[in-house]
Amino acid sequence: MDFSKVEKIKEQAARDILEAKTTSSLKEIFNRYLGKKGIVAKQFFYLKKMPQPKRSEFGKQLNELKKSIEKRIKEKSRIIEGKDSREKRKIHKIDVSIPSKKPQLGHIHPLTKIIRETQDAFVGMGFSVEEGPEIETEHYNFSSLNFPVDHPSRDAHDTFYLKKDTILRTHTSPVQVRYMEKHNPPFRIIVPGRVFRHEATDSSHEIQFYQLEGLMVGKDISLANLKGVLEEAIKRVFGKKTVFRWRPGYFPFVEPGVEIDIACPICGGKGCSTCKNTGWIEVLGAGMVHPNVFKAAGYNPKNWQGFAFGFGIDRLAMIKYRISDIRMFYLSDMRFLSQF
Ligand code: DAH
């Protein structure tokens, strides 16, 4: 047996392996050299017929040949596989210019929307936004606001009592006194917030709803200022052509008190189910701050004047978005909410 043959096989195999470009051609090379009937196996066949000591020497060489071919194939296969996955990556390369799937966006709740709009209207006129507690005392909710003890107006608010003297606020007006106790005039504030009434619900009554309170206090503040500020704010929410009607109204914490209607934006004042055929919709209560309220807050009523007002936020949203049932706001029904 010619020993140089082993060397030749080794070289040829090395060349073949070097040239192999795919996993399948490498497999084919493996079979050709190391398969059962392959080139190396053939040499083992000759080995058996060899006399000693040549036989052990040749056997050693063949084993080394086998190992070296195996090693080269393994190395090459690693290279090819690496390349393959690089190729694969090329095919599946992420194209960052393709528009992505649109995530499902949430919606602004209609009440949040109208609160923001109304707030913006007042902030644009120099008002700042304040807050107060939803759990109130009878003192702030009623007494400090000049509701006489045992006066039926307390009942009219259908109060939720948590315990004696502690209630869920029935309106945002108590924040007027809380704010005045801590601040000196002049100032202008608005107070959006949730209020609660213990009453039967129907399409225009809920046990919880939202109000937006306002208070402006300073020197020589008059009813004319109240009219100017409120009509401007309402026009910013409902449009420049809004028509107003002012009526006297009673609230214990203001004197004089007024109620402000706007011509029904749905029928234009002709009369429809929303305005109950009157052509008018009441949008807020307001008035000049009662001296007793200033006193309760520690102000001298001789030194200061002010006006206060309170919107029903749900009401505004119902008019603006033409929603016929106030309860829709609190049902978390996606069919309703996704319209906004
Ligand atoms: N707090 C009143 C209510 O809940 C609304 C209101 C009326 C607020 C007149 C005011 C006001 O500040 O001046 O019905």
For the ranges 8-22, 30-44, 294-308, the maximum mean pLDDT occurs at: 294-308
Q: What is the pTM of this model?
A: 0.71
Q: Residue 144, CB half-sphere, CA atoms under 13 Å: how many?
A: 21
> How confident is the model at residue 86, as a pLDDT?
66
pLDDT over 70 at 2, yes or no? no
CA of 310 to the centre of ligand 1 (A): 4
pLDDT over 80 at 193, yes or no? yes
User: Which residues contact ligand 1 via a Cβ below 6 A?
Assistant: 171, 173, 213, 251, 254, 285-287, 308-310
Of residues 129 and 151, more confidently modeled: 129
pLDDT over 70 at 252, yes or no? yes
pLDDT over 80 at 153, yes or no? no
Residues whose CB is less than 8 angstroms from the CB of residue 125 and which lie 6 or more positions away in sequence, other chains included: 188, 229, 232, 233
Which residues are registered as beta bridge partners of 282? 261
Q: What homologous superfamily does CATH list for 110-337?
A: Bira Bifunctional Protein; Domain 2 (3.30.930.10)
Token pair for 94: 């992420």
> How confident is the model at residue 50, as a pLDDT?
84
Query: pLDDT by residue (tens digit) across 206-249?
Result: 999 999 999 999 999 999 999 999 999 999 999 999 999 999 99
pLDDT over 80 at 154, yes or no? no
Token pair for 163: 């315990």
CA of 30 to the centre of ligand 1 (A): 93
What average pLDDT does range 81-107 have in this prediction? Answer: 77
**Strands, E, within the chain: which ranges?**
128-129, 135-137, 161-163, 166-168, 187-196, 208-218, 244-248, 254-263, 280-289, 305-312
Mutation test of ligand 1: which of 130, 173, 204, 216 has the most ligand atoms closer than 8 Å to its C-beta? 173
Q: Choose the weakest-confidence range: 48-52, 127-131, 182-186, 258-262.
A: 48-52
pLDDT over 80 at 122, yes or no? yes
Query: pLDDT by residue (tens digit) across 71-87?
Result: 999 988 888 887 766 66
Query: pLDDT by residue (tens digit) across 275-312?
Result: 889 999 999 999 999 999 999 999 999 999 999 999 99
Residues whose CB is less than 8 angstroms from the CB of residue 84 and which lie 6 or more positions away in sequence, other chains included: 23
Considering the chain, what percentage of its residues have pLDDT values greater than 70? 96
Mutation test of ligand 1: which of 155, 251, 294, 305 has the most ligand atoms closer than 8 Å to its C-beta? 251
Residue with tokens 């090395």: 14
pLDDT over 90 at 135, yes or no? yes
Q: Which of 131, 202, 129, 119 is nearest to 169 (CA)?
A: 131
Q: What is the mean pLDDT of the chain?
A: 91
pLDDT over 90 at 54, yes or no? no
Domain residue extents for the chain: 4-91, 110-337
> How confident is the model at residue 47, as a pLDDT?
84
